[in-house]
Amino acid sequence: MRQTLLAAGAVLLFAAAPAMSEIKIGYLADLSGATSVLTGESGLRAVEMAIADAGGMINGEEIDLLTADHLGKPDVGLGVAREWLDTESVNLILNADHSAVALAISELIADKDVIFLANAVSSRMTNESCKPNQLAMLMDSYGLARGITKPLVEAGRDSWFFIEVDYAFGHDLGSTGAAAVEEAGGNVVGSVRHSPQTTDFSSFLLEAQSRGAQTIGLATFGSYQIAIAKQAQEFGLDIPLAPFFLGITDIKAAGLENVQNISGAIQFYWDYNDETRAFAKRFQEVYDRPPTFTNAMLYEFTRHYLKAIATVGSTDASDVRAWMGENPVALIDGSTATIREDGRVLRPMYAYTTKTPDESTGDWDYLTISGSLEPELTALPLDQSKCALVQ
Amino acid sequence: MKNGMPEPLGFTLPRAIFFAIFVIFVIVAPTFLYPIFLMKIYCFIIFALGYNLLLGYTGLMSFGHAAFFGMGGYLCGHAATDWGLPFELAVLTGTIFSTALGYLFAKIAIRRTGIYFAMITLALAQMVYFICLQAPFTGGEDGIQAVPRGSILGLIDLRNDTALYWTMAVIVLAMIMLVNRIVHSPFGQVLRAIRNNPVRAKSLGFDVDRFKVVSFALSAGVAGFAGALKTVIFGIATLTDVSTVTSTEVVLINLVGGIGTIFGPVVGSFVILSLEHFLAPYGPWVLFIQGIVFMVFVLVFRQGIVGGLQKVLRKQL
């Protein structure tokens, strides 16, 4: 009797031991709405590439990839994530490329055994709303605002005018950008807010001109940037624009002739060096265009995560998170990034100028990279952070 | 009271049977469906019940009900987070605010009928959306996050999903009974008279406008209550709930379920939200299939599922 009990105890112990169970990755993204062009399905392909590169399994355990569309609705995204945690016990949640969705999931995962990569531009992800197992690789509004303004001010373009989209994201981007301009010795001659319904930006452009701005900062995104760029072109406005959130897909949509000679900073460009070109070539075998910066990040992050669980030998979120922070993240371009305690991945940004249609050799050949920006320039200094993990 | 049959709480035998089936479903459902998903459906059932009160039983088409649903959620979230109110008072705050907002909307909108009425509600709802986007307390596009669930009178801890599920189950069943009672009361009869022929109702001496306003405010209050509960369940209140997408969703739910039936909103919510839930992995197909469903119902199946069933059974459901 006693022996049976002991045996039963041993079996129970064995079952409870933290053996590596199936590895589950949940990819939650906007697959149908505004940001689906930039990330969506192409991001999923990048994650699949990272999994395939790891051989589809880690330490003999299959990697299972789940996918869902949050439809831009926080309750849908939160519902899916919650169900993944409760019934599938996912180990990693990727993307959530929508601020409200990401913030909602952030609260959900606070005490759960899961790693969460939040690809939202809200600076709250690594600031007020930071969590021990939550990471952010995408440049947040703080980094974008500074990474784009400071180098240009230092290059001598010191009077700025901002056009902001009239909600929290735009206000944040505009005010951080203005502060960075002033910090670098430039001055802000004015700013306007456009409502999300605006389609005619001509009065804003004229106002910028009459105030003698040398650069117009576009603290807005997507179709608004494109509309502003096109209208500036139609007016023959000779003030250079500085968009904060321009991806190669936006340039493709706008047409290069409408956005030529624009300077800014980007987090990844496929035609940067041999490594990135090789990656882009492989990527184009599974998707019909070169990778965008979000695609590249998803690949790099997933690869780093898989390396972490392979080395740690378990999917325990806090152990894996610790390993990920202690070891450098290998980036596609051959350089490395590090992860701070607040969850921010410190990676360089590239300063770029868009080509003219004559310089471009064809589709997707859009940027001339002129240098890179140190991550310290774009990350919020920890002593200004409101993140509870670094207090 | 046709045929002299008693109708306790407005339940005829067929309706009582339907209700009993739903009660059994509510009890066994959590064993095979995800409870949080079920709770979300229950919220939408309550929302749709409120909407049906207006569209189905008073004959007024509103395109702006998301304003009440969303504001109920925002007020509840704000009350629970910033004012530190307990669960009951937070939900009550949302409900009262939405009722008041509904009263205000109705006062303006009932001056016109038909398409003009619908357009006024849409315009007012867009104004509410804009306020939610800009007002500091709503958190703009980030919404109100981390709303505490709290407990019922300090007795039942709602942070536990199971406790919350049974609370929601009781609430949704009570709401069906309440709406059924309202619809099959003398007040509900007047509403239906107004729906069928407002001129005749007026000539019979009823103050049509007043009944419309009360019906609208009641409907808005129920929608606000649903929104507040949704905020409690998910712990968030966001722009989605005040957007036109939500306004159309509730119309779609009623259309699919059956406008002017007690159980239409129940069936409709299950169909529409299941589509959204189970098709989530297929991305854009959700919207595509919702569009197809809408067209099919409008073109060939205008009474909706429960409406169709009603015709087959020849009983009022």
Distance from CA of A195 to the nearest CA of B (A): 10
Question: Residue A2 has what pLDDT?
Answer: 52
A289 pLDDT more than 90: yes
Instruction: Choose the closest CB to B236 out of A40, A78, A80.
Output: A78
- B36-65 confidence digits (pLDDT tens): 999 999 999 999 999 999 999 999 999 999
CATH code of the domain in which A255 resides: 3.40.50.2300
Whether the Cβ atoms of residue A118 and residue A105 lie closer than 8 Å to each other: yes
Domain annotation covers residue A12: no
A164 pLDDT more than 70: yes
Q: Do A228 and A358 belong to one domain?
A: yes
- Buried-exposed string A214-241: b where 16+ CB fall within 10 A, e elsewhere: bbbbbbbbbebbbbbbbbbbeeebebbb
Partners of residue B142 in chain A, C-beta under 8 Å: 99-100, 103, 122, 124, 168
Domain annotation covers residue A109: yes
Q: Do A213 and A357 belong to one domain?
A: yes
Q: Do A52 and A77 belong to one domain?
A: yes
Beta-carbon contacts of B186 under 8 Å, excluding residues fewer than 6 positions away, are: none
Question: Which phi and psi angles does B199 have, rounded to 5°?
Answer: -65, -45
Q: Do A154 and A104 belong to one domain?
A: no
Partners of residue A68 in chain B, C-beta under 8 Å: 280-281
Mean pLDDT, range A112-137, rounded to an integer: 91
| Half-sphere CA count of A186, side-chain side, radius 13 A | 28
A314 pLDDT more than 80: yes
Separation CA B183–CA B191 (nearest Å): 8
Partners of residue A167 in chain B, C-beta under 8 Å: 133-134, 140-141
Question: Residue A24 has what pLDDT?
Answer: 95
- A207-220 confidence digits (pLDDT tens): 999 999 999 999 98
Instruction: Choose the closest CB to A99 out of B141, B146, B277.
Output: B141
pLDDT-derived band of residue A21, with 50, 70 and 90 as boundaries? low
pLDDT-derived band of residue A14, with 50, 70 and 90 as boundaries? very low
Q: Do A120 and A149 belong to one domain?
A: no
A236 pLDDT more than 50: yes
Question: Residue B5 has what pLDDT?
Answer: 60
Q: Do A205 and A293 belong to one domain?
A: no
Domain annotation covers residue A1: no
Partners of residue B133 in chain A, C-beta under 8 Å: 167, 196
- A356-382 confidence digits (pLDDT tens): 999 999 889 999 998 888 888 889 999
Instruction: Flag if B240 and A73 touch (Cβ within 8 Å).
Output: yes
Domain annotation covers residue A8: no
Nearest to B164 by CA among B181, B149, B144, B148: B149
A211-A214-A219-A220 Cα dihedral, nearest 10 degrees: 90
Mean pLDDT, range B77-101, rounded to an integer: 95
Q: Which two tokens stand for residue B316?
A: 């009022």
For residue A241, give its domain range: 142-266+350-378
Q: Which of B137, B234, B239, B246 has the most A C-beta neighbours within 10 Å, making it the best mutation to test the interface with A?
A: B234
Domain annotation covers residue A385: no
DSSP A182-237: HHTT-EEEEEEEE-TT----HHHHHHHHHTT-SEEEEE--HHHHHHHHHHHHHHT-
Give the A:B interface size as CB pairs under 8 Å.
Answer: 97
A7 pLDDT more than 80: no
Q: Do A258 and A356 belong to one domain?
A: yes
DSSP-assigned beta bridge partners for residue A187? A159
Mean pLDDT, range A7-31, rounded to an integer: 65
Question: Residue A11 has what pLDDT?
Answer: 45
What are the residue ranges spanned by the domains of chain B?
A: 34-244
A169 has a chain B CB within 8 A of its CB? yes
Positive/negative CA dihedral, A126, A291, A232, A224? negative
Strands A92-95 and A115-118: parallel
A12 pLDDT more than 50: no
DSSP-assigned beta bridge partners for residue A162? A191, A217
Question: Residue B167 has what pLDDT?
Answer: 94
Partners of residue A95 in chain B, C-beta under 8 Å: none
Domain count for chain A: 2
How far is the CA of A32 from the CAs of A41, A338, B282, in angstroms? 9, 32, 9
Question: Residue A25 has what pLDDT?
Answer: 96
Positive/negative CA dihedral, A79, A85, A89, A95? positive
- A165-208 confidence digits (pLDDT tens): 887 788 888 888 999 999 989 999 999 999 888 889 999 999 99
A8 pLDDT more than 70: no
Q: Do A309 and A225 belong to one domain?
A: no
Question: Residue B146 has what pLDDT?
Answer: 86
Separation CA B298–CA A135 (nearest Å): 47
Whether the Cβ atoms of residue A315 and residue A20 lie closer than 8 Å to each other: yes
pLDDT-derived band of residue B118, with 50, 70 and 90 as boundaries? very high
Mean pLDDT, range A89-106, rounded to an integer: 92
Q: Which two tokens stand for residue A163?
A: 């056009």
Question: Residue B297 has what pLDDT?
Answer: 86
Q: For all residues of chain B together, what is the average pLDDT?
A: 91
Q: Which two tokens stand for residue B286?
A: 């959700």
Instruction: Choose the closest CB to B283 out of A32, A82, A122.
Output: A32
- B289-304 confidence digits (pLDDT tens): 888 888 888 888 888 9
Look at A6 and A345; give whichever has higher pLDDT.
A345
Of A347, A368, A386, which residue sits at a domain end? A347
Q: Do A103 and A89 belong to one domain?
A: yes
| Half-sphere CA count of A247, side-chain side, radius 13 A | 20
CA R_g for chain A: 22
B198 pLDDT more than 80: yes
Positive/negative CA dihedral, A246, A252, A253, A258? positive
Q: Do A242 and A293 belong to one domain?
A: no
A293 pLDDT more than 50: yes
Question: Residue B23 has what pLDDT?
Answer: 96
pLDDT above 70 coverage of chain B, percent: 97
Question: Residue B150 has what pLDDT?
Answer: 86
Question: Residue B298 has what pLDDT?
Answer: 84
Mean pLDDT, range B174-202, rounded to an integer: 94
Nearest to A140 by CA among A153, A158, A156, A127: A127
Question: Residue B164 has what pLDDT?
Answer: 94
Q: Do A240 and A171 belong to one domain?
A: yes
DSSP A156-196: T--EEEEEEESSHHHHHHHHHHHHHHHHTT-EEEEEEEE-T
Nearest to A191 by CA among A181, A200, A183, B139: A181
Whether the Cβ atoms of residue A240 and residue A263 lie closer than 8 Å to each other: yes
pLDDT-derived band of residue A13, with 50, 70 and 90 as boundaries? very low
A82 has a chain B CB within 8 A of its CB? yes
Mean pLDDT, range A112-129, rounded to an integer: 90
Look at A12 and A101; give whichever has higher pLDDT.
A101
Question: Residue A10 has what pLDDT?
Answer: 46
Question: Residue B80 has what pLDDT?
Answer: 94
pLDDT-derived band of residue B4, with 50, 70 and 90 as boundaries? low
What's the start-to-end Cα distance of chain B, in Å? 15
Domain annotation covers residue A291: yes
Nearest to A370 by CA among A139, A145, A136, A154: A154
Question: Which phi and psi angles does B67 have, rounded to 5°?
Answer: -55, -40
Q: Which two tokens stand for residue A3?
A: 């022996």
Count of positions (residues) in chain B: 317
Separation CA A348–CA A334 (nearest Å): 12
Q: Do A342 and A358 belong to one domain?
A: no
Q: For all residues of chain A together, what is the average pLDDT?
A: 88
DSSP-assigned beta bridge partners for residue B237? B144
Question: Residue B285 has what pLDDT?
Answer: 76
Question: Residue B20 has what pLDDT?
Answer: 95
Separation CA A146–CA A175 (nearest Å): 10
Separation CA B72–CA B70 (nearest Å): 5
B18 pLDDT more than 50: yes
Question: Residue B291 has what pLDDT?
Answer: 84
Partners of residue B34 in chain A, C-beta under 8 Å: 83, 86-87
pLDDT-derived band of residue B139, with 50, 70 and 90 as boundaries? confident
Domain annotation covers residue A167: yes
Separation CA B255–CA B88 (nearest Å): 32
Domain annotation covers residue A383: no
- B24-35 confidence digits (pLDDT tens): 999 999 999 989
Instruction: Choose the closest CB to A76 out of B140, B146, B276.
Output: B276
Mean pLDDT, range A51-57, rounded to an integer: 92
Mean pLDDT, range A150-161, rounded to an integer: 88
Separation CA A176–CA A123 (nearest Å): 11
Separation CA A104–CA A126 (nearest Å): 14
A261 pLDDT more than 90: no
